Chain A
Amino acid sequence: DAGVIQSPRHEVTEMGQEVTLRCKPISGHNSLFWYRQTMMRGLELLIYFNNNVPIDDSGMPEDRFSAKMPNASFSTLKIQPSEPRDSAVYFCASSPTAARAEAFFGQGTRLTVV
């Protein structure tokens, strides 16, 4: 398996624009997590899904953030409108089952909002 695949790897956008980050989890994994990493706040869990259903989105910072998982092999994280303080590395991770919580991370998307 190629592991968790994220796209794009880098994104530079202007403030106010819509940004969509994409993730393909490892095939057969039931749980999917979106994290944001910054120097100031470390690794923050934004939202997670189990069997494509959102379980907890309490980490989503504002209504500008939304996430979907239309099927077992694809998820998106959208920011609309984007702001400079959204600049961070966004990681997607997946794990086999809730009982086996080993999370495997994608390469991340480095987002810069100017």
Chain B
Amino acid sequence: GENVEQHPSTLSVQEGDSAVIKCTYSDSASNYFPWYKQELGKRPQLIIDIRSNVGEKKDQRIAVTLNKTAKHFSLHITETQPEDSAVYFCAASSDSWGKLQFGAGTQVVVTP
């Protein structure tokens, strides 16, 4: 089955700096790669996603890149703000039913 590895496990950045989280996946058939943000005590919420026919996608301060050859994808957050502090999860899906395999998560702390 699919295996997703996520790094780093924790990331501390100064407000205004950029944050980058990287994930690798094992199943070359994976074709959908979402990113979720989970604030303390709340549900995971979809923030951005990318499909295998696209190399990069951007939405305001967040962007995701995908390298199918290397089987890795990354989340980039620019001009970080304190409200970006949360746990971020990457996921991959190769299943025709939409099943997601999640990475272990990255705790991002943005210090003012």
A residues at B contact (CB < 8 Å):
31, 33, 42-43, 45, 48, 50, 55-56, 91, 95, 97-108
Contact = CB atoms under 8 A, between A and B. Distances in A.
A36 B36 CA distance: 16
A103 B46 contact: yes
Given A102-B49, A105-B43, A106-B43, A45 B100 contact: yes
5 contacts: A50-B97, A55-B99, A101-B34, A101-B93, A108-B43
Given A102-B46, A105-B44, A107-B43, A48 B99 contact: yes
Contacts of B34: 101-103
Nearest to A41: B104
Tell me the dominant secondary structure on chain A's binding face: strand
Nearest to B49: A102
A103 B43 contact: no
Contacts of B36: 105
Contact of A31 (B98, B102, B104): B98
Interface residues of B, number: 22
A101 B100 contact: yes
Contacts of B45: 105
B44 to A, nearest CB: 5
A103 B104 contact: no
B79 to A, nearest CB: 26
A47 B46 CA distance: 20
A86 to B, nearest CB: 20
Contact of A98 (B49, B89, B98): B98
B40 to A, nearest CB: 12
Contact of B98 (A43, A97, A105, A106): A97
